[in-house]
Amino acid sequence: MSATSHSVGGMDTLPYGSWPSPIEPAAVAGGTLRIGGARFVGDEVWWNEGIPAEGGRSALMREGAENAEVLLPAPWNVRSRVHEYGGGAWTADDEGTAYFVEQSDQRVYRFRPGGVPQPITPEATNTAYGDLVLAEGALWAVREVHGDAPVPERDIVTIPLDGSAASGSGFVRSVVAGSDFVAYPAPQDGMLAWIAWDHPDMPWDAAELRLGAIGADGAVADYRVVAGGHGDADVAALQPEWTAPGELTFLADEPAPGRDQRWNLHRVRVSGGLAGEPRAILSTDADTGGPLWNVGTRWYAPLPDGRILAVQTNGSDQLAIVDPATGSEELLASPLTGNVLVRHERDGMVLLTGAGSTVPGGLWLLDVAGHALESLRGGQSSLDDAYLPRPRALTVPGPNGPVHAFDYPPTHPHVRAPEGELPPYLLLVHGGPTAHSSGTLSLAAAFFTSRGIGVLDVNYGGSTGYGRAYRERLNGGWGVTDVQDVAAAASGLVEAGLADGARVAIKGGSAGGWTVLCAVADTGVFAAGISRYGVADLRRLVADTHDFEARYLDGLVGPLPEAEQTYIDRSPLSRPETLTTPLLILQGSEDPVVPPSQSEALRDAMAANGVPHAYILFDGESHGFRRAETLERAFASELAFLGEVLGFDAPGVQPVGLE
């Protein structure tokens, strides 16, 4: 279709998809901040930030006189590989000494600005550290050791601060082990609290809060389960924090009368090494907590006056100040409505990361007393707001119950479509599948909407942010329930007259890519699909993937070998004749979660079927694209692909070269 412009009433008229946009692929690649943590260090604020222009490395940074100052120059890369997805990769004391995990060798290093990092853990090719915590005169961490056994060993350890463990005069001490997975080391006065879970559970299924006394040898010999795990109901505990001597606060989605299971604040008293009965601080129909993909993630912070600042999620995020003494809460007016996490608190000042429907993602400073929020990094866009869509919450009925989504309509200050034309739409499927889309201002969405392509971001059944029942809707039904939900969301948009039913495409990565492939194979709803490192064969996924998710499919599909036929029946590669919808397949060459073999088998099936497709392999990329050049090419290719398949001119990008 050729795009011919004419002007009516001061507005140019162009077909949807062909609108000129100032948002180039490079702007999307470099314009989305990826901040992994932040804290107060003396009078400064330090954080780590991904730098796409430097291969996606994660740099340690601090506030400068005018701009952010990089503390750790290239090639240093602050990133943990514990549980594959990492987290808690650095911490620092008030005197300005940082401790961080280096991506290349996974050792822990000590560093002061202006100096050269020095290792403080032994050299070992099979060991990783994460969830770093400075407490009780030592550095605490989760350690992961890959030995001869098929399952890595994980324990909580203490690392001497003086570097003696690296030199051989000291050692890394194991404090507690005996679980497949551990997280959140929280020591106080000879006691250690932590979170633990075992295969086949994921941490959001059933994770225990454990408490034990640290013996004279520095190890925990025995422990008590304070909350969580398998009982009358499965409960997932999170984020233990000592909020006062003998007072342990934590998150758990314990059942409560009259509502779904939600992560809420709880507290338990500890005296003489013994814990009392936990009690709920506040019981709300919202989640303070989420899926623990990255260790060290925090959703609340205790305040100096005894109250608690918490993030509450029910579709969107809301900041609240909770008073444990009264069980009451005060909701804070804030532009932050999505992806909000609490990073650090000091004297009533709180560092947050997050975004909102009117502000992009960034690092923020909240003055709790004054209810004042200041942007420290990001949080502002250099683009004209008139090009940025305002997401609107949308709920449509589906065969499994209501389906929640956020709609980003085509948005342009100077162009409109011909009268009577309906826009093409790109439906987004998040990964996880327990992740959550929260309707924040998105350059990635604006890249398409400013060109006249609507975006629908769907929280299908299995997503977090709507309670345990919504999350567990997917149990046993991955590849069926999620497909039905995304199809219902797309159909609801079309039935409302908001989208052209013949031009709805679907895009997703990782677990979202699986849903994309199943949706194009099993429904007639979508005209095109985009898979970023998507799962195409469940049995290959089980054989190839890493330990953290090695038993994930037990709950999502069924245990093996009993459910093997289900794995075969649902996998698109097991029934390649159903793959008749044009596909763009994007893959990283170093992906340990979904190896290239899956995408290459998918490519071969498309070629055998004679279906238009393109396969792009990005050398050196892992699971989730990080490099600027990769992201730029990926977005450009997606736009070109949509134009070629859905029938509109896509100005400014080269054809993707369909085969």
What are the phi and psi torsion angles at 324 (to 5°)?
-65, -25
Pick the residue with more confidence: 26 or 507?
507
**Residues 140, 397: Cα–Cα separation, whole Å:** 48
Question: Above 80 in pLDDT, residue 226?
Answer: yes
Closest CA to 19 of 498, 382, 424: 424
The conformation of residue 461, written as its DSSP 8-state character, comes to T
Q: What is the mean pLDDT of residues 407-433?
A: 96
Quote the pLDDT of residue 2.
44
Q: What is the spatial distance between Cα 219 and Cα 131, in angstroms, rounded to a whole number?
A: 18
φ, ψ dihedrals at 338, nearest 5°: -155, 145
Lowest mean pLDDT among 149-158, 443-452, 467-476: 149-158
DSSP strand pairing (583-588 vs 528-532): parallel
Q: Where does residue 484 fall: left (phi above 0), alpha (psi -120 to 50 degrees), or beta otherwise?
A: alpha
pLDDT higher than 90, residue 49: yes
CATH superfamily name and code, 34-164: TolB, C-terminal domain (2.120.10.30)
Looking at this protein, which amino acid is placed at residue 125?
A: T
- In sequence order, what are the residues at sequence separation of 6 or more whose Cβ sits closer than 8 angstroms to the Cβ of residue 150? none
Residue 627 confidence class, pLDDT cut points 50, 70, 90:
confident
Tokens read off for 253: 């989605």
Mean pLDDT for 419-437 is 95
Instruction: Give the least confident one: 26-35, 357-366, 373-382, 504-513.
Output: 26-35
H or E element that contains 99:
strand 98-101
Residue 420 has pLDDT above 80, yes or no: yes
Domain ranges of the chain: 6-26+383-646, 34-164, 180-285, 298-378
> Which stretches does DSSP call E strand in 527-582?
528-532
Strand partners of residue 396: 403
As a dihedral over the C-alpha atoms of residue 444, residue 445, residue 449, residue 450, rounded to 10 degrees, the angle is -40
The string of pLDDT tens digits covering residues 571-613 is 999 999 999 999 999 999 998 778 898 899 999 999 999 999 9
Q: Is the peptide bond before 399 cis (omega within 30 degrees of 0)?
A: no
pLDDT higher at 428 or 380? 428
CA 507 vs CA 275, 354, 556, 584: distances in Å: 48, 23, 21, 9
Give the amino acid at 30: G
pLDDT at 63: 87
pLDDT band at 259 (very low <50, low <70, confident <90, very high): confident
Beta bridge partners of 448: none
CA distance 60 to 76: 9
The per-residue pLDDT for range 59-118, each reduced to its tens digit, is 999 987 678 899 999 999 999 999 989 999 999 999 999 999 999 999 999 999 999 999
pLDDT for position 1: 40
Closest CA to 483 of 427, 539, 537, 523: 523
Residues 6+ apart with CB under 8 A from 220: 175, 176, 192, 212, 213, 214
Cα–Cα distance, 203 to 641 (Å, whole number): 38
Is domain 6-26+383-646 in CATH 3.20.20.240, yes or no? no
Is residue 424 over pLDDT 50? yes
Percent share of the chain, pLDDT over 90: 83
Q: What is the pLDDT of residues 265-300, one digit of tens each?
A: 999 999 887 888 999 999 999 999 999 999 999 999
CA distances to 219, 294, 512, 538 from 531, rounded to whole Å, are 47, 23, 8, 15
Q: What is the mean pLDDT of residues 447-452?
A: 96
Please tell me the distance from the alpha carbon of residue 487 to that of residue 426, in angstroms, as a whole number.
12
Kind and range of the H or E element at 224? strand 224-228
Cα–Cα distance, 442 to 81 (Å, whole number): 27
